[in-house]
Structure 1
Amino acid sequence: MTTPSSPPPADDPPRHEGLRQRAAAVLVFGSSAAVLVVEIVALRLLAPYLGLTLETSTLVIGIALTAIALGSWLGGRVADQVDPHRLIGPALGVSGVVVALTPLLLRTTAEWAPPALLLVAAATLLVPGALLSAVTPLVTKLRLTSLAETGTVVGRLSGVGTFGAIVGTVLTGFVLISRLPVSSILIGLGTLLVIGAALAGWRARRWRRASAVALATVVAGSLATAFAPGGCDAETRYHCARIVADPERSTGRTLVLDGLRHSYVDVEDPTYLRFGYVRAFAAVVDATFATAEPLAAHHIGGGGLTFPRHLAATRPGTRSLVSEIDGGVVRIDREQLNLGASSGIDVRVEDARLGLKRIDADSRDLVVGDAFGGVSVPWHLTTSEALRDVRRVLKDDGLYAANLIDHGRLEFARAEVATLAEVFAYVAVVGTAVDIGLDPAAVPMGGNMVVLASDRPFDAPAIQKALDARETGWKIATGDTVTAWTGDAPVLTDDHAPVDQLLQPHPTRTVR
């Protein structure tokens, strides 16, 4: 009687197959997550130089999507011609080096060669984005061992990649940016990618020299980033923040957010006002309300809290509620700008539009609008719906005063004035004679201007006298002059508020 021979052992039982499947999932998940981390952090790096506008966001998203499409297409073609084992490690390694060097490259270019910034930014997004996106088709090629499982493999890896992109987005937006400087995020991510390249090269038996060179590059770039221009004193959730001492005034401090001067504060003398638009605020309040009369005020946007401090010092008993979206800026106010010395100021870390809804109707004498994202007022604070909330919280004789910045044809400023005219009975504009239509033959230069709105008439001569006393050099326009200046400007609504398109940024750097 013969004994049947045993079947030969199967190559790599499920244990090894499972390892390969998990490795594929890790590679696809990690590379997809890394693409989104780089995209979101790139917005933060570019904001100080290009502004945090819709155009900047669209540019970064467009380049990232181009990189994903290019990498997926090229990765698939190359995977059919070259052993993918040989390509995964280099793709991760080169991506890691570029990602780690991105802060140094962008900040140095922005300071020393600004015209080349867009080109360098595009390269630092395209190269790692395309290489990381190529990992998915490379891994898919390795996993396709049978046509019978094509749908399962492609679908599984596509789902894993999408999930990785979601995790990268959520992790960056809710955790990393609030806890780490953007340069640390990119250097850390670049280091992880280089380590991943070393592990992938180890499996392909070709890792030592290339990985050592890549890791040395990352280390050198990390050290150089510490000395790169454009650094921050603090990375807040929304801004790159710095405090700059005034060499001409020992107690003067300037709060710089994303490269723009947002507030000037004298930490010992809150009555001192450096910026012209803040002096205009003070002049209008001087002329509108009785001298030293305490006010109930709400401030949309805080910054260095210059004007709330001024009201507290000049009008004892004034209660100022401030809506400031960036908790990091509030922390700087407390730790470096002597906020604790001022009384009657309540700062809430909140979106101002939501904060308005929580304020009682007819409870405020004054609402001050001074919120900026980059060089523009956040669009959702400019609409007729938002301004109706402002009117709701104001008393019948209350005043709304807002700071605007625009250039060129002043299309955004005109639209905002037209929107205010839809909500309030009286609207006025304060600025240079050229910009506000008092000298029609001259070409507007643009810059800061203050718009006023109320349901009671303005005392224009009294306001002009106060503007002159504050040495602003500005004029006030009311009535038909404002109507003619506004022209056929559109009314901004929640349904249609193209603020970024209407806004004309200064061709160089806008300074408040």
Structure 2
Amino acid sequence: MNSPSPGLVEPDAPAESAAPRALPNGLAAFLVFYSSGAVLVLETAALRLVGPYVGVTLQVTSSVIGIALAAIAYGAWAGGWLADKRNPRTMLAPALVLSGIATAITLPAVRYAGEVLRGGATGAILLLVAVAVFAPAMLLSAVSPLVIKLQLADLRRTGQVVGRLSGIGTLGAVTATLVTGFVLVAALPSTVILFGLAASLGVTGIALGVYLHRQDRAVLPGPARVKAALAVLGLAGAGLTMVAPNPCDVETAYHCARVEADPDRPDGRTLLLNSAQHSYVDLADPTHLKYAYTRWIGAVADVAAPTGQRLDALHLGGGGFTMPRYLTATRPGTDNLVFEIDGGLVELGERRLGVRQGPELRAEVGDARLLVAGEPTDSRDLVVGDAFGHLVVPWHLATREMAADIRRVTRPTGVYVQNVIDYPPLRFIRSEVATVAAEFEHLALIAPAEALAGERGSNFLIVASDTPLPLVALRARLDADAEPVSLLSGDTLADFVGDALVLTDDYAPVDQLLANA
């Protein structure tokens, strides 16, 4: 039997570093569910944050979705890379705490940046959305790959572990989307949602850090430093929010709303929705119509029936309730039924804009498309379409199918007027006139001459009926206004419309038509 030579000792095999311990399955599932859900809370709330500055259009919605997905992609990539470089247990708690800090400073960051980036330019939209979403969403998206790496102790179960946790993350995102959209946004201001989420992330991160620290003291050195950082930065975020400019008096389920007094008219009030002027009312004189397009609607109403005769009027969109109050004042006994999707605006109108519901004015909260479908046939003398999402007519209210339903509700001698905003090259207003003309026999269009020439953006008022319109009386009424305006009809209107697209439920690219060429 041979023995080793004296003085020669066989070296020990190098000891493999111990693999990080896996988390309990329940804790791992919670972290993935919670972090994925938090990203979708941020994404949903971001639309509320940026809306007052860049509007709520298809481009803004697409930007929020796209940048959130980019943040998720980069966060997952970075989290996976870090998980291979360092012990994931050391990074889970800091990732949650840092995401809480980033969430806390999102609100003041957006409010300051929004004042600089205000407007609808594409670059401004993308940059402001990135300020609102990217950093916290990226940090949160790093949590799932960190957790998954910890749970992959047995390579034979890799597919099962990854599939289960990925599914749990998706369920968290779905749950958060539904809860935020159906409950949180309707019940709480954006400030409360974001600071509540930030606090929740911070507390969860600290609790996780303490738990891991007790399990393995080498994992989280000094959790007190994390607490101190969260406290300092959280307080800084809260302080910035207190002094940051706030564009809202009230946050409704759909709008950032503010009412401003008119310095030149003691009883004048301007309603701003998402920082854009939306309505003007005079609390003491409901016949005072400040905006030109409201005077055009008033002119149509004035010549639609003998002076003072009551009307059965339907209003699609309430806003400041300017026209219902005007009709009540000029035609006593008029039945004004208002379809307004935002119940918060109805409440604001009652508190601040002189709205009084009763026999002559009733507001029904809901989507105008659905509510019109439930109205009796031939039940209205006047239908006023004045519903907007920011400065855009909601696409489902701009289609031929919607025009057909409005025609059904309008009496044969009744009139439909629709307020539209468009800008050069005027693609949307041409398409909308063509769409309404596909259902109503007689049309006219009211707008400033320079707007019709494509020199600037403006309100346009479509006037439609199944009986000949009182164009001579309407022209005389418009000429009495201080601001000159054009009235197109017949061949002149047909030349203006040309071969414009008729919008349908199947194809109504409203936002694209409104985009500048």
Same fold (TM over 0.5): yes
Deviation per CA, 1:171-218, whole angstroms, max 9, x where unpaired?
Answer: 110111111111221111111112222123222333211331122211
Deviation per CA, 1:147-188, whole angstroms, max 9, x where unpaired?
Answer: 232222212211211111011101110111111111221111
Q: Distance in 1 between matches of 2:379 and 2:454?
A: 41
Q: Distance in 2 between matches of 1:268 and 1:257?
A: 22
Q: Distance in 2 between matches of 1:28 and 1:383?
A: 42
On the 8 A contact 2:425/2:516 being kept in 1, the answer is: no
Deviation per CA, 1:330-369, whole angstroms, max 9, x where unpaired?
Answer: 0101112121277501100010001101110011100000
1:496 is matched with 507
Q: Distance in 1 between matches of 2:298 and 2:110?
A: 40
Task: From 252, 273, 278, give the equivalent of 1:262.
Answer: 278
Task: Give 1:19 shift.
Answer: 7.2
Q: Structure 1 pair 109/19, CA: closer, same or farther in 2 (3 Å)? A: closer
1:205 pairs with 2:232: no
Task: From 487, 490, 511, give the equivalent of 1:476.
Answer: 487
- For 2:248, what is the secondary structure of its paired residue? coil
Task: Give 1:435 shift.
Answer: 2.4
Q: Distance in 1 between matches of 2:358 and 2:484?
A: 29
Deviation per CA, 1:47-88, whole angstroms, max 9, x where unpaired?
Answer: 111111111111110111111122122211221111001111
1:312 is matched with 328
Task: Give 1:495 shift.
Answer: 0.1
The answer for unaligned runs of 5 or more in structure 1 is: 1-16, 437-441, 507-512
Q: Distance in 2 between matches of 1:39 and 1:78?
A: 25
Which structure 2 residues correspond to residues 35-434 of structure 1 after superposition, within 5 A?
A: 35-112=39-116, 114=118, 118-202=126-210, 203=212, 204-206=219-221, 207-340=223-356, 344-434=360-450
2:13 is matched with none
Which residue identity is paired with 2:161?
V
Deviation per CA, 1:438-475, whole angstroms, max 9, x where unpaired?
Answer: xxxx5431211111111111222211111122334212
On the 8 A contact 1:321/1:345 being kept in 2, the answer is: yes
2:5 is matched with none
On the 8 A contact 1:312/1:318 being kept in 2, the answer is: yes
Deviation per CA, 1:278-311, whole angstroms, max 9, x where unpaired?
Answer: 0010011112211011000100000011000100
Q: Distance in 2 between matches of 1:496 and 1:121?
A: 28
Q: Distance in 2 between matches of 1:346 and 1:471?
A: 32
- For 2:306, what is the secondary structure of its paired residue? coil
Task: Give 1:505 shift.
Answer: 6.7
Q: Structure 1 pair 81/205, CA: closer, same or farther in 2 (3 Å)? A: closer
Q: Distance in 2 between matches of 1:393 and 1:505?
A: 34
Q: Distance in 2 between matches of 1:505 and 1:210?
A: 49
Q: Distance in 1 between matches of 2:229 and 2:56?
A: 36
2:468 is matched with 457
Q: Distance in 1 between matches of 2:125 and 2:114?
A: 6
Q: Distance in 2 between matches of 1:24 and 1:299?
A: 53
Structure 1, 376-385 or 200-209: larger mean CA deviation = 200-209
Which residue identity is paired with 2:251?
E
On the 8 A contact 2:328/2:334 being kept in 1, the answer is: yes
Deviation per CA, 1:369-401, whole angstroms, max 9, x where unpaired?
Answer: 000001100000000000000000011111000
1:27 is matched with 31
Q: Distance in 2 between matches of 1:245 and 1:401?
A: 29
1:8 is matched with none
Report sequence identity in percent: 47
Task: Give 1:113 shift.
Answer: 5.2
Which residue identity is paired with 1:47?
G
2:216 is matched with none
Q: Distance in 1 between matches of 2:437 and 2:125?
A: 40
On the 8 A contact 1:410/1:504 being kept in 2, the answer is: no
Q: Structure 1 pair 381/443, CA: closer, same or farther in 2 (3 Å)? A: closer
Q: Distance in 1 between matches of 2:190 and 2:481?
A: 41
The TM-score normalised by the length of structure 2 is 0.91
Q: How big is the alpha-carbon RMSD for the aligned residues of Structure 1 and Structure 2? A: 1.8
Select the structure of larger CA radius of gyration: 2
On the 8 A contact 2:117/2:128 being kept in 1, the answer is: no
Give the aligned length: 485
Structure 1, 369-378 or 150-159: larger mean CA deviation = 150-159
On the 8 A contact 1:67/1:129 being kept in 2, the answer is: yes
1:7 is matched with none
Q: Distance in 1 between matches of 2:134 and 2:347?
A: 36
On the 8 A contact 1:33/1:168 being kept in 2, the answer is: yes
- For 1:434, what is the secondary structure of its paired residue? helix
Which residue identity is paired with 1:233?
D
- For 1:226, what is the secondary structure of its paired residue? helix
On the 8 A contact 1:356/1:390 being kept in 2, the answer is: yes
On the 8 A contact 2:99/2:201 being kept in 1, the answer is: yes
